[in-house]
C-alpha cells in the first residue's frame, strides 16, 4: 500500500515536471515570435509576410495530420475550423503584423496579453459566462494600463492606429476562442491545420488585393525570422502547448499570456533596441494585473454554485 502511494506521488511529480518544462519552453519560444515578426516586416509587406508564414506552417501541420492519420472535419466541425482560421489567423495576425510595423515587439506583446480578459468579456457577450466583479475590476485595470502605454508611443510619433490594430488583433484572437465553443470539437492539430490554411488563403488574397510587393526575402536575417516563425513559433510552440494542456487545465496554461510579454520585452530590448521606459513598465504591469484579476485569478465558488459554474477550459 505504501509503495503504491509513493509511486503515485512520484508519477505526479514527474508529470508536473514535464508540464512545467513544456510551459517554460513554450513561454520563452513564443516570446520571440513578435520580435521575429518585426524582423519579417522590415523586408516583407505585413499581409504578405503573415500569409507566407501561415502557408508554410499549414503545410507542416497538414503533414503532421497525415502522419497521425487524422481525418478532415466535416459539416459544422469544418465550418467551425474555417471560422477559427478567419478570426485567429487572418484577422488576429493580419492586424498584429500591421501594428508591429510601427510598434516594438515588447509593447505589442503586452497588448496581446489582453487575450484572456477579452475572451472572458466576449464569452459574457455571447452569454457563455457571467460577468463578475473580478472581470469588471480587471477590465478597468487593463484599460488604465493601455492608456498609460499608449501615451508614451504617441509622444514618439507612433500612430495610435498601430496600437488599435494590436488591440484589435487580441480581440480577434479572443473571438476565435469563444466562437469555437459553439461548434463540435475537432482534434487540435486538425483545427490549426485547417485554420491556418484558411487564414493563409485570406491573408495572401488580401496581400494581392492591397497590391503588396510579392517578393521573397533577400536578407539572411529575414529568412531566419521566417524559419523561426514557421517551425518554432507556429508548430513547436503549438505542440508544446498541447503537452502543457495534457497535464494542466486550460485556465492554468493561459498564464502564458502573462509570462510571454516579459520574455518578449527582454528579447526586444536586446535584439531590436526597444526603449524600456517607466510608462511601458507601469502600463505593462497594469495590463497584466488586470488580466490576472479579471480572467486568470482562481474564482471562489460557493458550494451552492458548483453546479452552475461554467468550465473556462
pLDDT one digit per residue (tens) for the chain, 313 residues: 434 434 443 455 778 888 889 888 998 999 999 999 999 999 999 999 999 999 999 999 999 999 999 999 999 999 999 999 999 999 999 999 999 999 999 889 988 888 888 888 888 887 777 778 877 787 788 878 877 776 665 445 667 899 899 999 999 998 988 888 888 888 889 999 999 999 999 999 999 999 999 999 999 999 999 999 999 998 899 888 888 878 876 667 777 878 888 889 889 989 898 888 777 788 888 888 887 887 677 654 433 333 333 333 3
DSSP percent split of the chain into helix, strand, coil, nearest 5: 80, 0, 20
> What is the reported pLDDT for 160?
83
Distance between CA 42 and CA 36 in Å, rounded?
A: 10
* Number of residues in the chain: 313
Quote the pLDDT of residue 217: 92
Contact, 160 vs 181, CB < 8 A?
Answer: no
**Does the predicted model carry a pTM greater than 0.85?**
no
CB-count burial class (<10 Å; 0-12, 13-18, 19+) for 155: exposed
User: Residue 179 burial by CB count (10 A; 0-12/13-18/19+): exposed, middle or buried?
Assistant: middle
CA distances from 201 to 71, 95, 165, 198, 249 (A): 21, 15, 20, 5, 32
H helical segments located in 210-309: 220-227, 237-247, 250-253, 256-271, 278-291
CA distance 254 to 274: 26
Q: Which pLDDT belongs to residue 152? A: 61
Rg from Cα positions in the chain = 20
In this prediction, residue 251 carries a pLDDT of: 63
End-to-end CA distance of the chain: 34
Residue 26 burial (10 A CB sphere; 0-12, 13-18, 19+): buried
Cα 11 to Cα 16, 25, 33, 68, 311, distances in angstroms: 9, 21, 33, 27, 26
- Residue 67 zone, left/alpha/beta (φ > 0; ψ -120 to 50; rest): alpha
Residue-level pLDDT at 63: 94
Q: Is 272 helix (H, G, I), strand (E, B) or coil?
A: coil
Query: Helices 75-85 and 160-179, interaxial angle, to 10°?
Result: 160
Which stretch of DSSP H or E encloses residue 3?
helix 2-31
Amino acid at each position: 500500500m505504501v509503495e503504491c502511494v509513493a509511486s503515485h506521488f512520484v508519477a505526479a511529480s514527474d508529470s508536473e515536471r514535464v508540464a512545467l518544462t513544456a510551459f517554460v519552453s513554450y513561454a520563452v519560444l513564443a516570446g520571440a515570435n513578435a520580435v521575429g515578426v518585426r524582423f519579417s516586416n522590415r523586408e516583407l509587406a505585413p499581409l504578405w509576410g503573415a500569409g507566407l508564414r501561415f502557408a508554410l506552417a499549414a503545410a507542416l501541420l497538414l503533414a503532421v495530420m497525415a502522419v497521425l492519420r487524422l481525418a478532415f472535419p466535416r459539416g459544422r466541425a469544418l465550418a467551425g475550423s474555417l471560422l477559427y482560421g478567419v478570426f485567429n489567423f487572418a484577422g488576429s495576425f493580419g492586424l498584429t503584423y500591421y501594428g508591429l510595423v510601427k510598434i516594438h515587439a515588447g509593447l505589442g506583446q503586452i497588448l496581446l496579453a489582453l487575450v484572456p480578459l477579452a475572451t472572458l468579456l466576449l464569452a459574457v457577450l455571447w452569454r457563455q459566462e457571467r460577468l463578475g466583479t473580478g472581470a469588471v475590476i480587471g477590465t478597468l485595470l487593463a484599460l488604465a494600463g493601455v492608456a498609460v502605454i499608449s501615451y508614451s508611443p504617441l509622444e514618439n510619433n507612433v500612430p495610435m492606429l498601430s496600437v488599435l490594430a494590436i488591440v484589435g488583433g487580441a480581440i480577434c484572437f479572443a473571438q476565435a476562442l469563444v466562437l469555437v465553443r459553439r461548434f463540435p470539437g475537432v482534434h487540435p492539430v486538425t483545427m490549426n491545420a485547417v485554420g491556418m490554411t484558411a487564414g493563409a488563403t485570406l491573408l495572401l488574397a488580401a496581400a494581392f488585393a492591397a497590391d503588396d510587393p510579392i517578393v521573397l526575402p533577400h536578407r539572411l536575417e529575414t529568412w531566419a525570422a521566417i524559419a523561426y516563425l514557421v517551425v518554432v513559433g507556429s508548430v513547436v510552440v503549438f505542440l508544446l502547448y498541447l503537452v502543457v494542456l495534457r497535464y494542466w487545465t486550460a485556465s492554468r496554461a493561459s498564464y502564458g499570456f502573462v509570462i510571454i510579454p516579459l520574455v518578449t520585452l527582454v528579447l526586444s530590448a536586446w535584439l531590436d533596441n526597444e526603449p524600456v521606459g517607466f510608462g511601458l513598465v507601469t502600463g505593462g504591469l497594469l495590463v497584466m494585473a488586470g488580466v490576472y484579476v479579471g480572467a486568470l485569478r482562481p474564482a471562489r465558488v460557493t458550494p451552492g454554485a458548483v453546479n452552475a459554474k461554467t468550465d473556462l477550459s
